[in-house]
Amino acid sequence: MSTLKRVYVTRQIPPEGLRILRESGQVQMDLWDSDDVPVPREELLRQVRGVDGLVCVLTEKIDTELLDAAGPNLKVLSTMSVGFDHLSLEELKKRGIRVGYTPDVLTDSVAELTVALLLATSRRLIEATHEAKTGGWGTWRTLWLCGHELANSTVGILGLGRIGVAIAERLAPFKVKKFIYADVAPRPELASVIGAEYVSFDELAERSDFLAICCALTPETKEICNKHLFSKMKNTSIFINTSRGGVVNQEDLYEALATGQIAGAGLDVTVPEPLPTDHPLFTLKNCVILPHIASASHTTRNAMSAMAANNLLQGLRGEPMIKELHP
């Protein structure tokens, strides 16, 4: 009879993933049994000692300190996320630890939320709701709460991948005139799906009426959305970020919004997370901020937890994972 592998799960992940792990007959699982409070760092360092596998979420920093605490038994890490900027990939590679992640399954959910955030920002829905609730709704006025519509607009995408394409597919019925994108290199196969034109970074800023940020956070993209970008955008442009907060210089964004350099911004991601309630961005009517909920549908989160669980189990068996990172 094979020995059960010791596994630690850093969060009470959605039920489908937990069910798969419990019914696998392959692992002895310990769990931080909360979804509301992240596992304290000291507790995490204690719990990972000697484990064979680890399931984490994006709030846990998987670095040298944690890997040293885990020790040489750790062979598989599975993160319930598509992003991996919380992982020290170089250290994981050095130690021969396999890494699973959960792309693809959240594409639809993130694309839907991006469109919702774009519309809420461009049509000033949060402002409008506030006015209706607080007595601001008076006589009909010709320009009161006017926003910007998608019809005949140019939509720009920074980082054209599965999510960028899915966003464009959902926006196309709004009679968008043109899709353009910038990336490290042309992506002709993906671009052909939505009829998107490859342009330079500066041209993307200059031509976009709506700019959706869909790139991964890497050393090259850190704070790539800064005053250089905002200074080239139209004063009627809407900026939307559902990728990672670190790709935006938030001080520069605040300045662009406060001075009317751009018309509005919708953010699902920030630095830090949660964003302090006294942060200057919260004082702006033309900035809509959500608490990182792009993949927050029941279907998607359960699919992510199931993939994370299966990645872990397959990795522990020495089999190919459903989705594996190769640093």
- Per-residue pLDDT band for 2 (boundaries 50, 70, 90) equals low
| Sheet (strand 324-325) strand order | 27-31, 5-9, 53-56, 76-79, 98-100, 324-325
pLDDT digit string, tens, across residues 189-198: 999 999 999 9
**What letters, b where the CB count within 10 A reaches 16 and e where it falls short, cover 119-146?**
bbbbbbbbbbeeeeeeeeeeeeeeeeee
pLDDT digit string, tens, across residues 116-162: 999 999 999 999 999 999 999 999 999 999 999 999 999 999 999 99
Domain ranges of the chain: 5-105+298-325, 125-285
**What letters, b where the CB count within 10 A reaches 16 and e where it falls short, cover 267-299?**
bbbbeeeebeeeeebeeeebbbbbebebbebee
Describe the chain by its helix, strand, coil percentages, rounded to 5.
40, 15, 45
CATH class of 125-285: alpha beta
pLDDT digit string, tens, across residues 208-265: 999 999 999 999 999 999 999 999 999 999 999 999 999 999 999 999 999 999 999 9
Provide mean pLDDT across the span 2-10. Answer: 93
Residue type, 7: V
- Per-residue pLDDT band for 1 (boundaries 50, 70, 90) equals very low
Contact 237, 262 (CB under 8 A): yes
Q: Tell me the pLDDT of the chain averaged across its residues.
A: 97
Distance, in Å, from the CA atom of 132 to the CA atom of 142, rounded to the nearest integer, reads 17
Could you tell me which residue, 52 or 2, shows the higher pLDDT?
Answer: 52
| SS3 state at 315 | helix
- At residue 327, the pLDDT reads 76
Q: Which residue has the tokens 């900035």?
A: 287
- Per-residue pLDDT band for 285 (boundaries 50, 70, 90) equals very high
- At residue 68, the pLDDT reads 98
CATH number corresponding to 5-105+298-325: 3.40.50.720
User: Annotated catalytic sites, by residue?
Assistant: 292
Q: Same CATH topology for 5-105+298-325 and 125-285?
A: yes
